[in-house]
Structure 1
């Protein structure tokens, strides 16, 4: 009957990868092209800036370069904080020029103070320009520090504005699709991992395939990568007009990731238990030969239940099949004739099968729809 359960299990096709067009528009290639364009435009505009700033056109391309980040909100944040850092550096240099004079001691002191300010938590981007601006004003500006400071700040502002405009008008990056695909790939990895364990239990004992036994670190790293991708996708929606055209509720994806974090924990637990039962390492665990097939069927069915989520809301048939496979395994453990009167042996002999069954049950519970989903993260 266990094999019948496996045959009825839902087989969900792999999710298609990102098309070439979307890969280009969301990749480093686009960012590089936009940065090159912004720097070129800033260099053309810089000589047109009136006043003393005309003498320092080379800072405009630098401002454009600084402002180009993968997300629109990141560009705004970096640009504004860079200008704040420049302003603070100029103020520090001005204090030296008013109260003392530039020398080894005062320059070193100002740079040290600038580094302390740059390391503050509220100046996360552009902080390095505090000591840089102070140093440039004192050394390069010299006797012409007033004009230099104005030109430096104004041309950097011009470049930043150009960078923001380019980032806003030309495919402002929106990485929601990429994050959703990473989430789907994470499910595929977990499902493939469970299927490999299931196949190993049906091989000649002990199994020769053991790649899955050392994949726990990969599962944890993949989870961290998906969380980063979702955070970047959430960030890419802010101040992005494309987000209004491509609405997507990331709250559900964050809820799915929390569920998959729990699933990963239980899958890693199953991995350790089965590896210990096969190769007798880490801790004692026994998986009797007559229980390997039903345990294998449970793993396959749970894998299908995880993969079914890639189809959207998930197919209840896949979870039903997994529940049936798990129930059959537990019923089989309950009906074993040789359990009578041998409770001491039971606890050690069935430890692996019971541990896998409990972890599988908790995986299915984590995948079950919750009454209250995470709040929507929309703009």
Structure 2
């Protein structure tokens, strides 16, 4: 039985909508779906998994509206050529949504996952939790600016669901209301107190058992790394389109190749682990997780396909760019530049720069995710960074001689 069986499908009819707004919402929804689905698996959280399926249904509606609007916009061959990459973005976002739904069903259909997945949780991600705002919560009927939650606790409200309405990326003026479903992300120690004040119930940290199957531990480590690389690929793919950057699009392709190679190793380790596992059937969910993770990295390449094929960016995408306050940049570090040999602490280089480095591609080592560890920048490194346009220009200047 489908976990949400019995809920009526949404009827969709054509109506004039802003394709730009739909694309922005699809992007935000796709990124949230990836986050929620993996968190649902890592936490064994059925409530989070059900939110994934609700968002997946919302994505289906967005996709239909985007397709209808794009079809109405095509009047000649030039329109078709310029809108084809936009259609690829729409289809890829829906592919990500479907993959996230498949990941969520690992939990809801009780497919089984090895305990090693939970053992990997502390290293893999911050805590992401779902809570319903209590009528008497101190946060109810107050704006996020008034609560100042992130500054006080490090916990962020990444989305709110009010009935069937989703508020993605809520801003300072967003008001939290009683009965809202809130999605919170932040350090576990802070999450516990915030969750209690929000819901009037205690947050329970999942217990983790020790795991002693070496091949299984290697498989789990690999899937966690695949997850991180796939998330990075999607982020870079959207940025490559928004900023018409062939360099970023090439990095998406590099990441997809890396994920493909890792999936092959993951499958081998999983099969070897089955011979030593007490219950090999419990590995079924892990296999599903590997295949769907690879689908997400493939979708990232589809998003950036228009850039890779040197197709002109449509004005609707350029309009979306104008609304972006934060960009992702790619720079290659020249030998002897200011960045060469610079330490990176918590993603920030030890120089006058406000750009946050989220990943490094090093020719001798492959991809290094800065969220996992600190490090030192070397000549030849390709830095993937996030920040303002001004900061991006400054970082590029520091990377050259």
| TM-score normalized by the length of structure 1 | 0.39
Q: Which has the larger radius of gyration?
A: 1
Tell me which protein shows more helix as a share of its residues: 1
Tell me which protein shows more strand as a share of its residues: 2
